[in-house]
Structure 1
Amino acid sequence: MENSTSSGRGWGRPWLPLLVVIGFVVAGIVGGLAGASLVRERAVTPTAVATRAGAAATRGQPVVETTAQTVAGQVYQAVGKAVVDVIARESNGFFDEQGSGSGVVVDQRGLIVTAAHVVAGASTVQVQFATGERHTARVLGVDEANDLALLQVDRLPDGIPVASLGDSDTVQVGDVVIAIGSPFGLSGTVTQGIVSAVNRSWNPPGDRLHTGLIQTDAPINPGNSGGPLFNADGEVIGIATMIESPIRGNVGIGFAVPSNTVKRVLPQLEQGAQLQPAWLGISGTDLDAATAQRFGLDVDRGVIVLNVVPGSPAARAGLRPAQIRGNDIASLGDVIVALDGTPVQGMEDLAARIGTHQPGDTVELTVIRNGQRQTIRVTLGSWPQQG
């Protein structure tokens, strides 16, 4: 069900506020283009205004000033009807609860991408198209780690285009982006903005650390979740997943799962995969040069283990936390310096790489303990269900 808000937070000293129990979800690990073959029908996309203007300048023709609103209008006319409303109903026995979000058609066979939390717990899911037709949809697969779900309807109404999945690796800060969805149930709402940041990490309260996200100031509100973030060529470069807001409304900070992540998991979702985020079960902070020098370490990059969750995979593997007195580290426990033989740069790096794994996978952590390096094998678990 739709639940895409959180309270605002600030960022303080690097080692204390990053106390994230690593359920580790990675939203943007670059996974190749295995899912590109799913998009068999490409929509007719508009030519980006900036590209047209550049070509005109090359030919010596006058360049007409245009606005991002013009680009948004072109994108809406070309692929706006590929965006759908997703209505999820959950039966509680005596009455039904209804939640809503958005989605986007990515294949002529009736495949629709949305956010996993939009359809979580739903007993029935329906999709309403721009034509007004409403069809029952099947949930083919879910990727909770990246907050993605794949739906399918038996057929697409006439006149519904298919949106192309673009290359999110080419997205740059400052690029114009257009969000289309159903904020607060207002179908077909178009907003525009820019890419505010790429490869963004974000940790909503009570949730796991999310990495690799596209951040945008294009207004995104409850109901936009699962809807597409388009570039100026009308290609989907992200799927709206959450906002950062103390008021459950847009404050100019929204996040989207990159399209290349969607491409990577689409084949698995079409086959019915139920992908879960892998869980290590620690909280930690980045090792820095000053701390390394203080404790006589021969590296200045890694993760200081601050807490090990009882009963977690980390606890079963015997990882040891640091001893804390007040707000300071009195003595080190384990410092994670490598994962499967590759150096770990810090918490976000470790989170992203754990996020490429599935529960049940075994990884090798290289740790410094009492000044000596040793290798610890950990079988990852599933992120605990939120109570």
Structure 2
Amino acid sequence: MTGSAWTHATVTGERIAIHSARSVRPRVSVWPANARKTVPKVFTCPAVPVRGDSPRRSALRSRRGDPRLTEAQSPVNRAATSRRYNPTVRSRRQLLPIAALLAAGLIGGAISLAGASALGVGGKTTTVRQIEPAFAGNSPTSFNPVKPGKAMTINEIFRRDAPGVVQVTSTQVVRTNDPFDFGLPQTEKQKALGSGFVLDKAGHIITNYHVIAGAQSVEVSFSNSDNLKAHIVGSDPSTDLAVLQVNARSRTLTPLAFGNSDRVRVGDSVVAIGNPLGYDRSVTAGIVSAVQRAISAPNQFPIDHVIQTDAPINHGNSGGPLIDSRGQVIGVTAQIATGDTGSGNIGIGFAIPINTVRTVVAQLIKKGKVEHAFLGITAKPVTAEIARLFRLPSKSGVLVASVQPGSGAAAAGLRAGTETAVVSGESWPIGGDQIVSADGVPLTSIDQLRDLIAGKRPGQSLSLEVYRDNEKLTLDVKLGRQPSSPR
């Protein structure tokens, strides 16, 4: 890091302040691993349902999220990649919790409507929430061909693919206690609006998990104005994906073609089709701004290989397709970053890569759920400078920061760092194992390790080569089943 510039973000509520500095030489300080350290807090954004227009209704309540892991504690439990969750964007080198990411569906991503009835007596009155205008932006009117004769215009993509895009409305019944009703329980219906698209002629539809999480009923609206009841085939909070199915005639269904998200490159033209703010089957256009992003799933596990785009995405777009210039789906829109605006599009949206979707959806249709393998450690990738400063036996690999009790890593005897060192403001675990390869694959990043874990099933083994006190060891770890959320 000597003589290099570094940048970090300070999170205060919903505002992110960026600071830069130039370090002349690394400053190193060491304290015991059990010393008290400050963990940055990330807060959950308030819910956005519209409640029944009753004078006794209290203001919407928000819910606070849990603190995230420190930057030295990147969870090494990648998904095979809800409602009310606060997604975070992380860099490729480490997962850094950053506030103010919203899902573009239910509770930070969906348009929510609510009708309430106290004790089942009386009529229902619904108040429509004021819709904020979307941020303006420039969008191309046609695409530059990736290969001669292959690209389509935006209009051609829309005419071909829009019939396969649906509106998803989920209804949840909740019980509330209103002090103005003398503490008597009452029932309230909340509706959330998102998007989805047709997978096949069997009536399977792909959407986001957070659009349908906790729903008692789901309805799907097609471009021909048909409204059909849908049942949930399966869902996976670790990848924020869900599969629905409707009973419809096959000739009325328009399945969308899948592309290959591994071939997506920065600068590629893309369009998003969905139902932003309830405006059905709206199309927006932009480019791929970045690839290989990592975002946080509803259960706070990381989703890797995410596509970033500047195509305008707003509340209600969740679950809709991100489409390339050939008219093929390369991702499922899931989240947006809002900066200090609090809500609305600012040109930073994220889509779950279609190669991840393809794998997860196949398991959901077959089993109704996805079981992810779990190693049970947090770790930090080694840099050449850190290897030199602490005289590590290898210039690559990952340093084990913590080992979860009862996990496969704990059973195999992996050891976490005993001390924490701070170099130029960044924390590093030292004194523990340094993992240099997994199943014979040399490790240069945590993402590599998560990918290898994701390719396995619970109960399978992962062979790790580690350095411990300059001695090279081989440990066979029996992978466990990923828990419902990181601990």
Q: TM-score range by the shorter chain?
A: 0.7 to 0.9
| Matched ranges for 1:119-138 at <5 A | 119-138=212-231
Work out whether 1:384 is the aligned partner of 2:478: no
Look up the equivalent residue of 1:341 and give its one-letter code. Answer: G
Partner of 1:78: 160
Work out whether 1:332 is the aligned partner of 2:431: yes
Deviation at residue 164 of structure 1 after TM alignment: 1.1
| Correspondent of 1:250 among 334, 345, 349 | 345
**For residues 23-74 of structure 1, what are the alpha-carbon distances to aligned partners after superposition, in whole Å with 9 as ceiling and x for unaligned?**
32253xxxxxxxxxxxxxxxxxxxx854499459xxxxxxxxxxx9x93222
Work out whether 1:17 is the aligned partner of 2:17: no
Partner of 1:272: 367
| Correspondent of 1:302 among 389, 394, 397 | 397
| Matched ranges for 1:163-242 at <5 A | 163-203=256-296, 207-242=300-335
CA separation in 1, counterparts of 2:450 and 2:429? 25
The share of aligned pairs that are identical, in percent, is: 35
225-234 vs 264-273, which deviates more? Answer: 264-273
Flag the 1:55–1:278 CA change in 2: closer, same or farther, 3 A: closer
Unaligned runs of 5+ in 1: 1-5, 28-47, 57-67
Work out whether 1:342 is the aligned partner of 2:396: no
Instruction: Indicate if the aligned counterparts of 1:360 and 1:380 stay in contact, CA closer than 8 A.
Output: yes
Look up the equivalent residue of 2:79 and give its one-letter code. Answer: V
Partner of 2:469: 370
Partner of 1:356: 455
CA separation in 2, counterparts of 1:351 and 1:145? 13
| Correspondent of 1:88 among 144, 157, 170 | 170
Partner-residue secondary structure (3-state), 1:92 = strand
Instruction: Indicate if the aligned counterparts of 1:82 and 1:163 stay in contact, CA closer than 8 A.
Output: yes
Flag the 1:274–1:330 CA change in 2: closer, same or farther, 3 A: closer
- Structure having the higher Rg: 2
CA separation in 2, counterparts of 1:74 and 1:141? 32
CA separation in 1, counterparts of 2:235 and 2:299? 21
Deviation at residue 158 of structure 1 after TM alignment: 6.2
CA RMSD between the two structures: 3.2
CA separation in 2, counterparts of 1:204 and 1:107? 26
Partner of 2:116: none
Deviation at residue 10 of structure 1 after TM alignment: 7.1
Partner-residue secondary structure (3-state), 1:353 = helix
Flag the 1:10–1:128 CA change in 2: closer, same or farther, 3 A: farther
Look up the equivalent residue of 1:22 and give its one-letter code. Answer: V
Deviation at residue 371 of structure 1 after TM alignment: 1.1
Partner-residue secondary structure (3-state), 2:362 = helix
Look up the equivalent residue of 2:284 and give its one-letter code. Answer: T
**For residues 210-260 of structure 1, what are the alpha-carbon distances to aligned partners after superposition, in whole Å with 9 as ceiling and x for unaligned?**
211111111112221111011122211111122223423222221112222
TM-score (norm 1): 0.79
Instruction: Indicate if the aligned counterparts of 2:400 and 2:429 stay in contact, CA closer than 8 A.
Output: no
Partner-residue secondary structure (3-state), 1:297 = coil
TM-score (norm 2): 0.64
CA separation in 2, counterparts of 1:22 and 1:330? 15
Instruction: Indicate if the aligned counterparts of 2:198 and 2:205 stay in contact, CA closer than 8 A.
Output: yes
